[in-house]
């Protein structure tokens, strides 16, 4: 019994990271994936903020799921989400003011993330505390992973540095830290993941035959 | 009076071209990629979008300046603004269905999508952050709407052609749309420095 629950939790976490990765697979919540990823530090901090909000929202909704009237559930979800976003927003403004100055608007806009509302509606409102928490962690880590990968490549190629520290000393490709470079980076990474997917799928279907 | 008018005009130009929400601030991308497949839907979405944005910017401005600042509850602005937008969308949905059923039939589906759009929420937040006056807020919302419409129409016309193009398999669909958007964004960087506010 206990073993099957642990497997479920592991599946639940992996699901968010690989199969339903918010950015590369579902193509939701794209705005911050480009806006804040021109350096690694901002990308990672944004990912952590989203991870925190996602987990806390899932926990809150799943604890309240028997109290919330189905008819007014959407406004209540929005209220819970915006409450936690406000908490994150104020915490970040107080602890990392220099980063907050650059991406404060995007932190506040976590409220409009389709993925957070979708998880609350589809998963947390129907499941118990622990699976909902695992779902939130998986989804959040998937998002953090995507942002980290994107910002890693953009900072490395665009500035030749990582986390502010210079690594490569040749002339960097400036385009990648410009807005346009963000679109290119996401497009190319998405195609890369599609390609891996297609190869993997082909292999597994061969194995089945 | 005259210089005030010029300021408003500059605000509209800057919000629509230089600081275009889609290409330089990366907001509203979900809807931008989701709805820009056909020209007709792109135009319908843009019209609804601009109208809702201007009304919600005006309403949020009134609430922010006459209720939230006197009561000193500006830290609640995220919660309040999202409530305003959601309420407004619900209300215009109901009113349009009663008053203009023909229009509702055409544009009604976009209304539901709008309530979770980040641009609609970003405009009041920027207005509050920059302390714009009421007229400036509306001008900013109008400019942002025009900018979004421009982006949608450019993108929709390219994507209609893209359907017929022979794209490598992993790039088919969204990845290609991203690369195309990157190229348009590159073109839009040419507008930077057009006006300095």
pLDDT tens, chain A, 209 aa long: 344 556 677 777 777 777 777 777 676 777 777 778 878 888 888 889 999 999 999 999 999 888 888 777 877 888 898 899 999 998 998 998 888 887 877 888 888 777 788 888 888 888 888 888 888 888 888 888 888 888 888 888 887 777 777 777 777 777 777 778 888 888 888 888 888 877 776 655 554 44
Pairwise CB contact (< 8 Å): A35 & B26: yes
Residue B196 in any domain: the answer is no
Collapsing DSSP to helix, strand or coil, A161 comes out as strand
Enter the ipTM: 0.75
Residues in chain B: 197
Amino acid A207: pLDDT:
46
- Cross-chain CB nearest to A183 (options B27, B118, B178): B178
Range of the domain at B29: 2-191
Residue B64 in any domain: the answer is yes
- Characterize B90-112 residue by residue with b for buried, 16 or more Cβ atoms within 10 angstroms of its Cβ, and e for exposed: eebeeebeeeeeeebeebbebbe
Query: How far apart are alpha carbons B7 and B5 in whole angstroms?
Result: 5
Query: How far apart are alpha carbons B50 and A117 in whole angstroms?
Result: 24
Q: What is the pLDDT of residues B65-79, one digit of tens each?
A: 898 888 888 888 888
- Identify which of B114, B103, B100, B108 has the alpha carbon closest to the alpha carbon of residue B32: B114
- pLDDT above 90 as % of chain B: 8
Angle between helix B174-188 and B134-162 (nearest 10):
130
Q: State the residue for tokens 């597994």.
A: A204
Residue A159 and residue A39 in contact, taking contact as beta carbons nearer than 8 Å: yes
- Joined together, the tokens standing for residue A36 give 């804040």
- Cross-chain CB nearest to A112 (options B117, B168, B174): B117
Q: Tell me the shortest Cα–Cα distance from A167 to chain B, in angstroms.
A: 26
Pairwise CB contact (< 8 Å): A180 & B118: no
- Joined together, the tokens standing for residue A8 give 């479920």
Q: State phi, psi for B109 to the nearest 5 degrees.
A: -65, -30
Q: Tell me the shortest Cα–Cα distance from B83 to chain A, in angstroms.
A: 8
Q: In which element (H, E) is residue A95 found?
A: helix A73-95
Residue B123 and residue B148 in contact, taking contact as beta carbons nearer than 8 Å: no
Between the ranges A98-102, B114-118, B136-140, where is the mean pLDDT highest? B136-140
pLDDT(B11) > 60: yes
- Joined together, the tokens standing for residue A82 give 């915006």
Q: Tell me the shortest Cα–Cα distance from A114 to chain B, in angstroms.
A: 7
pLDDT(B185) > 80: yes
Residue B107 in any domain: the answer is yes
Give residues 97 to 116 of B whose Cβ lies within 8 Å of A.
116
Most B CBs within 10 A among A187, A192, A193, hence the mutation to make, goes to A187
Residues in chain A: 209
Residue B34 in any domain: the answer is yes
Q: What is the mean pLDDT of residues B94-116?
A: 75
Q: State phi, psi for A23 to the nearest 5 degrees.
A: -85, -50
Contacts (Cβ under 8 Å, ≥6 apart) of B117: A112, B28, B30, B31, B49
- Joined together, the tokens standing for residue A44 give 């990672």
Does any CB of chain A come closer than 8 Å to the CB of residue B36?
Answer: no
Cα-to-chain-centroid distance, residue B41? 15
Contacts (Cβ under 8 Å, ≥6 apart) of A109: A31, A32, B27, B118, B121, B122, B125
Residue B156 and residue B36 in contact, taking contact as beta carbons nearer than 8 Å: yes
Give residues 34 to 53 of A whose Cβ lies within 8 Å of B.
34-35
- Identify which of B128, B131, B117, B61 has the alpha carbon closest to the alpha carbon of residue B89: B117
> How confident is the prediction for chain B on average, in pLDDT?
83
Pairwise CB contact (< 8 Å): B116 & A28: no
With 0.90 as the threshold, say if the pTM is over it: no
Pairwise CB contact (< 8 Å): B78 & A108: yes
DSSP A29: S
- Joined together, the tokens standing for residue A170 give 């040749």
- Cross-chain CB nearest to B82 (options A82, A188, A191): A82
> How many domains does chain B divide into?
1
Residue A209 and residue A190 in contact, taking contact as beta carbons nearer than 8 Å: no
- Joined together, the tokens standing for residue B107 give 């544009």
Amino acid A2: pLDDT:
46
Q: Which residue of B has its CA nearest to A34?
A: B26
Query: How far apart are alpha carbons A26 and A19 in whole angstroms?
Result: 9
Residue B185 in any domain: the answer is yes
Query: How far apart are alpha carbons A128 and A138 in whole angstroms?
Result: 16
Amino acid A173: pLDDT:
75
- Identify which of A137, A122, A147, A143 has the alpha carbon closest to the alpha carbon of residue A21: A143
Residue B160 in any domain: the answer is yes
Collapsing DSSP to helix, strand or coil, B114 comes out as helix
Q: Tell me the shortest Cα–Cα distance from A143 to chain B, in angstroms.
A: 15
């Amino acid at each position: 019994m206990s073993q099957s629950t642990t497997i479920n939790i592991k599946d639940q976490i992996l699901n968010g990271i690989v199969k339903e990765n918010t950015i590369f697979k579902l193509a939701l919540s794209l705005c911050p994936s480009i806006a804040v990823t021109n350096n690694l530090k901002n990308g990672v901090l944004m990912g952590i903020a989203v991870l925190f909000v996602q987990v806390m929202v899932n926990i809150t909704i799943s604890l309240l799921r028997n109290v919330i009237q189905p008819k007014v559930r959407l406004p209540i979800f929005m209220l819970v989400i915006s409450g936690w976003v406000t908490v994150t927003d104020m915490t970040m403004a107080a602890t990392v003011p220099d980063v907050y100055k650059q991406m404060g608007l995007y932190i506040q806009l976590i409220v409009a993330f389709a993925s957070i509302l979708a998880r609350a509606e589809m998963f947390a409102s129907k499941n118990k505390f622990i699976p909902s928490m695992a779902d939130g962690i998986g989804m959040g880590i998937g998002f953090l992973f995507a942002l980290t990968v994107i910002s890693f490549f953009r900072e490395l190629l665009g500035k030749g540095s990582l986390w502010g520290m210079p690594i490569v000393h040749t002339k960097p490709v400036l385009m990648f830290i410009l807005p346009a470079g963000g679109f290119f980076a996401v497009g190319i990474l998405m195609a890369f993941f599609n390609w891996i997917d297609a190869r993997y799928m082909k292999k597994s279907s061969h194995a089945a035959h | 009076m005259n210089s005030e008018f010029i300021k408003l005009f500059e605000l509209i130009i800057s919000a629509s071209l230089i600081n275009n929400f889609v290409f330089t601030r990366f907001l509203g991308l979900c809807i931008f990629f989701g709805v820009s497949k056909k020209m007709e839907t792109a135009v319908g979405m843009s019209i609804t979008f601009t109208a809702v944005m201007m009304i919600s910017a005006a309403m949020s401005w009134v609430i922010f300046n006459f209720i939230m600042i006197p009561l000193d509850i500006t830290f609640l602005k995220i919660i309040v603004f999202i409530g305003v937008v959601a309420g407004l969308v619900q209300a215009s949905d109901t009113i349009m269905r009663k008053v203009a059923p023909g229009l509702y039939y055409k544009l009604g589906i976009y209304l539901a999508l709008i309530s979770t759009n980040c641009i609609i929420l970003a405009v009041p937040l920027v207005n509050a952050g920059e302390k714009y006056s009421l007229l400036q807020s509306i001008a900013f919302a109008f400019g942002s709407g025009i900018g979004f419409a421009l982006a949608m129409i450019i993108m929709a016309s390219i994507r209609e052609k893209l359907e017929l193009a022979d794209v490598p398999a992993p790039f088919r669909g969204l990845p290609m749309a991203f690369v195309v958007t990157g190229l348009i964004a590159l073109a839009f960087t040419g507008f930077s420095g057009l006006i300095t506010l």
